[in-house]
Amino acid sequence: MKRESIAHAYILSTPTTVIFLSRRSGGQYEAKKLKFTYEEFRDHVKILTQAGDDFEKAPGLTQEEFNEFSDAALRANNTEP
């Protein structure tokens, strides 16, 4: 819920909070507010950033190995690297 609300929402802020206002893209209209203090939002972003870094490092590939892999995947799909 948080990722969708943050990625596709309108942002409001006050001196002490960050508020994301999101709505459903289909079905019955429904709007929701997701409110963070600046500290909570900063901590949330740190957690997401760390998770992204961990995911990137999980295969244990060097940048060169990753580039070789992605080039091979694109060639297999008949797409230029």
3-17 mean pLDDT:
77
Per-residue pLDDT at 79: 65
3-12 mean pLDDT:
70
Rounded-to-integer distance, Cα 7 and Cα 22, Å: 9
Q: Is residue 54 part of a domain?
A: yes
Residue 19 has pLDDT above 80, yes or no: yes
Q: Is residue 81 part of a domain?
A: no
Domain that holds residue 41: 2-76
Q: Is residue 35 part of a domain?
A: yes
Q: Is residue 18 part of a domain?
A: yes
Please, which residues have CB within 8 angstroms of residue 59's CB and are 6 or more apart in sequence?
66
Number of folded domains in the chain?
A: 1
Reported pTM: 0.59
Per-residue pLDDT at 64: 94
> Nearest CA to 11 among 35, 42, 30?
35
Q: Is residue 60 part of a domain?
A: yes
